[in-house]
Structure 1
Amino acid sequence: MQTIDFIDFQRIDFRIGTIIRVEKFDKARKPAYKLWVDLGELGIKKSSAQITDLYTSDMLLGKQVICVCNFAPKQIADFMSEVLVTGFDDGNRQIILATSDKLVPNGAKLH
């Protein structure tokens, strides 16, 4: 594994936000949701997430998730994904969302 300096880590803008809207993303090549995430001072940002195996829309609404907020936006079909919602592979190629074990303010930075 390649090591990085702490400065490299600080360049990644990890923040937590609350999912406030979820739609099935029918035009995506792989099953996905369109998510709208409230990131506090950064506003509401959109993300496409391939997490349909383990999550329903109802499970996602109100869930806090950790996002990378400083990647360039990415066009996915007819949807512009503005942030990357992070998660972990469960060993079966299904993603478990990265979150906090306690409620924190939307937009809080990861340290």
Structure 2
Amino acid sequence: MDNNLYKKSYAFSIRIVKAYQFLSDEKKEFVLSKQLLKSGTSICANIAEANGAISKADFSAKLFISYKECLETKYWLSLLNDTGFIDDKTFESMHEDADELAKILYTILKKSRMK
């Protein structure tokens, strides 16, 4: 597995945790931010599980979950931006990171399912 993917997704998880802390402490927003925390940190957690997969199918399934979590995270980021909880600059940066992870995961999934 691409160790770079794990590093990028772990760094993204840290950003998500910090965003959650900001949203709950500064903005007093607890519902949407909790959803963001769950989906955003789940991306790397499932990549970690894929690293220990017992079969190609298990590997693919875990990466597919990571991919779907990226899409969900992008949704929560959009909603938080459109409701004024995060500013445009933060949104664009985090959304771009999530999009990059989703593209990498999609490429790996596409290649692994062709074999």
Shared topology, TM-score over 0.5?
Answer: no
TM band (smaller chain): under 0.3
The answer to which structure, 1 or 2, has the higher relative contact order (CA under 8 A, 6+ apart) is 1
- Larger proportion of helix: 2
Q: TM-score, structure 1 length as denominator?
A: 0.22
